[in-house]
Amino acid sequence: MAVEPQRAARQPGSHNGVNPLQAAVSSLVGSKVPPPPSQPAMGFFTDTSLCIGCKACEVACKQWNQLPAKDPVWTGSSYDNTGALGAITWRHVQFIEQIGDGYQGDRKGSSLPDTKFEDRVAEAKSSGTIPQVPPGTALPFFNTDRWLMRSDVCKHCANAPCQEACPTGAIIRTEFDTVYVQQDICNGCSYCVVACPFGVIARDEAGTHTARKCTLCYDRMKDGMVPACAKACPTDSIQYGEVDKLKAHARERLGILHERGVGEARLYGVDDDILEGGLNSFFLLLEEPEVYNLPENPPRPSNNVVPASFWSIVAALVLGMLGIVFFRE
C-alpha cells in the first residue's frame, strides 16, 4: 500500500523524512529536544450518512481552541452560514439540498420552474419523488429527497502538500502522524495556503498572521483525550481512532450501506490513493466528491517540482548557449 513507505520513513531521529543536510542545518538552529516516540497513526472517519447537521462540531472546535467567531453573514446557502474552512474555522458543516428531481444546491438567482403545478406533481410521481411503489414495500434507507450534510475538516493527508511546501519547518507530522502547524515557528509566508488542494489552511489575517488549521486537537490527544469535535458529535458521524482501524470500519460501513441500497455511498481518501497516500482524515460521501467541492484526484504539488525544474534547466541551458554564442563573436 502506498502508505507504507511513508511510515517507514517516520522513525525517531529521521523525523519528517528529513535528509542529513537538512538535519545538519536544522541542528544549528532547531530545538535540541528529541521528538516524542511514535504512536499509531490517528485520524478521523467522518461518516456523512450519520450527520444531522447540528454543527456541534463547529462550536466545540471553536470553544476548545478559543477561536474567534466569524462576523455573522447570512449566506442563503441552505443552512451553511460558515461558508468554508479557514484560519479560524476548522470544522465546517456543508448542506446540499437535493429535493425533487435531484436538483443540486440552491443557486442564487437560478431560474424557477414555470410548469403548472399538476405537471410538477405528475413529474414528481414519475421521477419517484412521490413513490408509486405498492404499499408495504420496504422503504429505502434514505428517502428520495435528500439533504446531504457533511462536516468538513483538514484531511491530514498522508502526503500533505502543506507540510511538503513549508519552508520554515513549522508544519510537521506529529508522533500521531497528524499534520500540525507550530505556531511559534510559522512566519506567515503562506506557501502552504496555495499548496493545499482542499483550501483548508489559511493565514490568520486578523489575528496571529500565521497559517492556522485543524490540529486534530494535538493537545487533547497527548493527554489521551478525544478531539473536541468527535467528542461533541452526537451521532458519531465524526469518529476518531487509529487510521487503520477506522479505514477497516469505513469499508465495512460502505458495504452495509451498499447492501441497504444506498448505491451513491462512496469512500473518499481511503482506497483511492488521493495525493498518493490517502488521507488520515477521510470521509464517507453520499455523492460524487465535486458536489462537496472536493477534488476527485488532486495533483500532488510537489510532483511538479521535477518537471518544472527540468524545463527551467532546458531554458537556462538554451539561453546560456545562445548567450555564449552571441557574445563570442
Partner 1 sequence: MQETRLPQTIMERLAPQDFVERLAALTTGYTPDLQQELQEPAYYDRPVLAEPVWHWEIIWYFFFGGLAAGCYIIATIAALFGSREDRAVVRTGYYLSLLALLPCPVLLIKDLGRPERFLHMLRMFKVKSPMSMGTWSVVTFSFFSGTTAIIQAARDGLLGRWWGARLLAALPQKLIALPGVAVGFFLGSYTGVLLTATSVPLWSRSKLLGGIFITSAMSTSSALISFVLRLTNAVVPRFIVGNSLHKLERLEWAAMLIEMTGILAFLHESGRAARPLVGTAPTEHGMTFWRFCFGTGLVLPWLLQTLSLLGGRGSRRIGRGLLISVLVLVGGYFLRRTMIEAGHISSKDARTTLWNAKR
Partner 2 sequence: MGSNMAEAHPVAFPNVVEAKERGAKVIHIDPHFSRTSALANLYVPIRAGSDIVFLGAIIRHLLENNGYFHDYVVHYTNAATLVREDYRDTEDLDGLFSGYDPATESYADQSSWDYQRDADGRPVTDPTLQHPQCVFQIMRRHYARYTPEMVEQVCGVPREQWMQVAQTLIENSGRERTSALCYAVGWTQQSKGVQIIRAGAIMQLLLGNIGRPGGGVMALRGHASIQGSTDVPTLYELLSGYMPQPSALLPQQTLADYIATSGQKTGWWSNFPAYIRSLLKAWYGEAADEEEGNTSYRWLPKNIGDHSHLATSYEMLDGKVRGYFLFGQNPAAGSTHSTMQREALKQLDWMVVLDLYETESAAFWHRGPVPHTDAVDPSKIKTEVFLLPAAASTEKEGSFTNTQRLIQWRDKAVDPPGDARSDLWFVYHLGKRLKELYADSKEPRDRGLQALTWEYELEEPEPGSRILDEPDAQLVLKEINGYYVYPQDQTEMGTGKAHAYTLREAPHVPGFAVLKADGSTACGSWIYSGVYPEPGNNRAASRNGEGYTFLQWGYAWPANRRILYNRASADPQGRPWSERKKYIWWDEEQKKWTGFDIPDFPLNKPPDYMPPPGATGMDAISGSDPFIMKPDGKGWLFVPTGLKDGPLPTHYEAAESPVHNALYHQQSNPAAKYYRDRPDNRLAAVGDEHYPIVVTTYRLTEHHVSGQMTRWMPWLNALQPALFAELSPELAAERGIKHGGWMVISSPRGEIEARAMVTRRMRPLRIDGHVVHQIGLPFHWGYQGKIKGSITNDLTHMVLEPNVSIEEAKAFTCNVRPGRLP
Q: Which residues bind partner 2 (CB under 8 A)?
A: 50, 52-56, 58-59, 62-63, 68-74, 76, 78-79, 81-82, 97, 99-100, 103, 106, 108-110, 112-114, 117, 120-121, 125, 130-133, 135-137, 139-143, 145-149, 234-236
* Sequence-distant (≥ 6) Cβ neighbours of residue 136 within 8 angstroms: none
Minimum separation from the CB atom of position 55 to partner 1 (A): 17
Among partner 1, partner 2, none, residue 140 binds (CB under 5-8 Å by kind)? partner 2
The CA angle 237-238-240, to the nearest 5 degrees, is 135
Binding residues among 302-321 for partner 1 as defined by CB under 8 A:
302, 304-305, 307-312, 314-316, 318-320
Contact 205, 49 (CB under 8 A): no
**Could you identify the residue written with the cell 479557514?**
86
3 C-beta neighbours (distance < 10 Å), count: 19
* Sequence-distant (≥ 6) Cβ neighbours of residue 167 within 8 angstroms: 189, 191
Q: Residue 185 interacts with partner 1 (CB under 8 A)?
A: yes
**Applying CB under 8 A, which part among 36-44, 54-62, 79-87, 233-241 lies near partner 1?**
79-87
Minimum separation from the CB atom of position 263 to partner 1 (A): 17
Q: Using CB atoms within 10 A of its CB, is residue 12 exposed (0-12), middle (13-18) or buried (19+)?
A: exposed
Among partner 1, partner 2, none, residue 159 binds (CB under 5-8 Å by kind)? none
Minimum separation from the CB atom of position 118 to partner 2 (A): 8
Contact 214, 62 (CB under 8 A): no
Minimum separation from the CB atom of position 280 to partner 1 (A): 19
Q: Residue 22 interacts with partner 1 (CB under 8 A)?
A: yes
Among partner 1, partner 2, none, residue 32 binds (CB under 5-8 Å by kind)? none
Among partner 1, partner 2, none, residue 38 binds (CB under 5-8 Å by kind)? none
Mapping DSSP to helix (H, G, I), strand (E, B) and coil, where does residue 47 land?
strand
Q: Residue 326 interacts with partner 1 (CB under 8 A)?
A: yes
Q: Using CB atoms within 10 A of its CB, is residue 94 exposed (0-12), middle (13-18) or buried (19+)?
A: buried
Q: Residue 131 interacts with partner 1 (CB under 8 A)?
A: no
244 C-beta neighbours (distance < 10 Å), count: 12
Q: Residue 127 interacts with partner 1 (CB under 8 A)?
A: no
Q: Residue 133 interacts with partner 1 (CB under 8 A)?
A: no
Task: Indicate the residue among 50 and 185 with the shorter CB distance to partner 2.
Answer: 50
Minimum separation from the CB atom of position 126 to partner 1 (A): 22
8 C-beta neighbours (distance < 10 Å), count: 10
Q: Residue 99 interacts with partner 1 (CB under 8 A)?
A: no
Q: Residue 165 interacts with partner 1 (CB under 8 A)?
A: yes
CA distances to 91, 156, 197, 228, 280 from 216, rounded to whole Å, are: 11, 8, 19, 9, 10
